[in-house]
Structures are given as structure tokens and as C-alpha cells.
Structure 1
Amino acid sequence: MSASQTLSLPDNASLFTRLRVASQCLEVLKNDPTNPTCGQTFNMSLNVNVYTSLVQRFQRTEEGRRMLSHRPSLEGKELDLAALERLPEGTLGHEFARYYHDNKISPFETTLELKNDIHFLSKRYRETHDLLHVLTGYATDVVGEMELQAYVLGNLGIRTSALVLMNSTMKLLKDPQSGVGRSEYLRRLWTAFRRGRASPLFLDFWFENHWETPVATLRARLCAPANG
């Protein structure tokens, strides 16, 4: 049994336990950054309070309650990328499928059981990451990934995003590899954070019902202007 398979987060875990499990997951992720079990457990360990607040927010609206009840999925096993790619250019489905093809990556998968609404929102957040790249227009290079983390931090308050930003920013400022100057890099992160904070919550949006909708239409609906 691998180290990642032995890691789990107990129900109602204390802050100390959550930090310990997060630290253990981080060690695995350093050598296996796409590990689905550790990625999901790390996410839950640091963000359980955020997801608890979001569940309460969802429960206050009819649409939110419907999502919690139906628990739609954007996991790879639910996606027919070939069919999506056949949709007209510019539609969400076509651009989403092309995103995976161009970046030579596969859709998110997880091995963790969804025991409650908190687990569902944790999963939903992680499986919308690639869709957010398509919608926001942030690239998949180092700076683009950090811009997306800053956007998510502003929109949801995700703590793992704050941690990733802090670690990556310190490394980039010490040893710049992105070709972007320090002041430009920090300006772009701050702009992305403000954009995320000014945008509607994306986590309760049924992307599955909008594959044929133009990306431009959804961007206008879900994202504040990039230079706002």
C-alpha cells in the first residue's frame, strides 16, 4: 500500500490533525503532484471551514439546495471529450476539450468517497479548475497558474490557494524564471485577486448544462472584467 493510500482525514478532525494530514499530503505531492487522493485530502484538510460556510450559503437558496442534492460531476469519467470537441468553435464544450488536447493533460479524477456536502464542494472546486482556465483566460504557465490561484482566493477564500501563492511567489521573487518582472508579477496577482472578488460565485454554476454556450457569453456572466 502506497503512502497516499494510508492518508485520510478523520471526521470532525481538530486543527492540529488537519495540519498534520496536510503536511503529510504535501510531502507526497512534491514527488507526485497529480496524485488524486493526496490532492483531495490536502484540499479538505486546509479548507474544511471554507466549504462548511459555502454549504450553509448553498442551503439558503433553491438553486444551491438543488446542486447539493444532485451533486453533478465533471470528473473525467463523466466527460465525452470527443463529443465536446465536435461542438462549434468558441463554445464551452469545444474550448474545454481543446484545452485538454493542447495541454496534453487529462480531466480530474478522484478516488475519495463523497460522504457529505462538504466533500462534494471540495471535489467540485478541484474539478472546475480547468474550466476556470478556459473562462478566465489565464494561461497554464507559472504566472497564469498563480493568477488563477489569486482569482480563486478572491472568489472563494480557498486557503490552499493562499498557501500556493505564498510559496510560489517567494520562489519566483528569489529566482525569477517567468520572464515577468517583480512589480508586474505582483500587479497581475493583485488584479486577478480583485477580479475574483468582484466576480459572481462560480462554484454553484451548472457548467454541464452550458457546453453549447459560447465562452464569451459565460465569461461575461461569470467573470468580472480582466482589467477591473
Structure 2
Amino acid sequence: MSYTQTLSLPDNASLFTRLRVARRCLKELRNDATNPTYGQTFNLSLNANVYASLAQQFQRSEEGRRMLSKRPSLEARELDLAAFERLPEGTLGHEFARYYRDNKISPFATTLELKSDIDFLSKRYRETHDLLHVLTGYGTDVVGEMELQAYVLGNMGLRTTMLVLLNGTIGQLKAPQSGVERSEYLRRLWAAYRRGRASPRFLDFWFEEHWETPVATLRARLCAPAHA
């Protein structure tokens, strides 16, 4: 499956076709989580209708229209992590740079040509993934990643998150990881989902304008309290 082939799927492609593409991408992403081709294709395979609905909602507000017009970017080439690290501890920029350093990973890159608002919102979501880790406090271990997926499912209703959670939960129930029992794992996912549903939508927030803002301030603004 080539990049061109996957992105040329017609809008009216069957659910079976979209699921097949999504499962293939998910399989590849297990071995190469930051691969832009498979990441972008996976995100678009099942979420195009969700993003189309979001684009319509964005058009109803001044801030939403500004974002769709300006199309800000959080991809790797736009981020100066060295400068972020020089910001005071606790600020979004500093903690974002620390997140990458501590986890020995790099920001997302993209090969997706932005032909529509749907493409932009798909790209925007992928770029906010690591910022959500910083804001929500969910870890980058297996369970933490699943918690973040549950949070996003509650907040945005992305269909790909349901597929990720299904695959991850089947694996966890068969062989618990990170020392987390099955009941605890399910409890944590449910709590993350409810937290996401109770939180304001994050996708239209201008993170680029808040690198010097304390994470605690942004967490209080964008994330509902984390309850058991």
C-alpha cells in the first residue's frame, strides 16, 4: 500500500475498505509509531467525517475561522526545542521540550499536502498528541497511551481511537502489562474517557501562543479534573 494509494481512497469508500486500511496502518505503526505516511493515513481512514463536522463547527466562531485560515503548525520544523528548554520550569514550552528529551523522541513530521480543512484538522490532531500527554499527565507507557486514547475518544469521538483502544484492550486482557491488573486498567480507561468528555475541546486551542504559560494554568483551563 503506497502513500498515494491510501490517500486516494474515495470519500464513499466502504467501511470495510476503510477498516482494512486502518488496520494495516495500525499494524505498521506498532513498529514505527512516528511514521508520517501511516500515521496520517490511519488518522484519515476513519475520521474524515468527524473532521468535516468539526470544520463546520470551527466556521461558526471567529477563533475557529482564524485557525482554519491561518492553519498553524506544530510539526517538527516549526518547533525550537532548545529555545523552549530555556523557558522557566513549569511553562508549557519548557515541559514540552523536557517531554521529548526524557522520552528520547522527536516531534511529528508530516508529508501530507493540505488540500482541505479536513486535512488540516487531521494534521493538527496528530501534532497535539504529545502536548496532550504533557497537559493531561498521562504517561507514554502502554497504559498511559491507552488512557490518552480514551481521553481523546471522550473529547472528540475519533473513530480511530476506538480501534486503538479495542486492539490495546484485547492485548491487555490477554496479558496485562506494566503490572496493572485488568480491573484497574478498565477503571483507568473509563476515568480517562469521562475526563475527556467533561473537558473543553482542545483541537482549536492556539498552543503556539502559550509556550510561556504555566502548564498548571493550561491544565485547569483545558482539562477536567482527573477523578478515579
Give me the TM-score of the superposition, normalised by structure 2: 0.94
Deviation at residue 177 of structure 1 after TM alignment: 1.9
Identity of aligned residues (%): 78
Relative distance call for 1:7 and 1:30 in structure 2 (3 A) is farther
1:43-62, aligned counterparts within 5 Å?
43-62=43-62
Q: 2:14 — aligned with what?
A: 15
Relative distance call for 1:126 and 1:136 in structure 2 (3 A) is same
Structure 1 residue identity aligned to 2:208: E
Mapped pair 1:128 → 2:128: yes
Q: 1:171 — aligned with what?
A: 171
C-alpha deviations, 1:178-211, integer Å up to 9, x for none? 2111111111100000000000000000000000
Residues 74, 127 of structure 2: 8 Å contact kept: yes
Structure 2 residue identity aligned to 1:22: A
Q: 1:77 — aligned with what?
A: 77
**Quick one: distance in 2 between partners of 1:93 and 1:153?**
26
Q: Structure 2 stretches of 5 or more lacking a match?
A: none
Deviation at residue 30 of structure 1 after TM alignment: 4.3
**Quick one: distance in 1 between partners of 2:51 and 2:169?**
25
Residues 71, 120 of structure 1: 8 Å contact kept: yes
**Quick one: distance in 1 between partners of 2:184 and 2:14?**
36
Relative distance call for 1:6 and 1:66 in structure 2 (3 A) is closer
**Quick one: distance in 1 between partners of 2:37 and 2:5?**
8
Q: 1:184 — aligned with what?
A: 184
Deviation at residue 36 of structure 1 after TM alignment: 0.6
**Quick one: distance in 2 between partners of 1:22 and 1:183?**
28
Residues 51, 118 of structure 1: 8 Å contact kept: yes
Q: Structure 1 stretches of 5 or more lacking a match?
A: none
Could you say what secondary structure the match of 1:183 adopts? helix
1:1-228, aligned counterparts within 5 Å?
3-10=1-8, 11-16=10-15, 17-227=17-227
Give me the TM-score of the superposition, normalised by structure 1: 0.94
Instruction: List structure 1 segments (4+ residues) > 4 angstroms apart after TM superposition.
Output: none
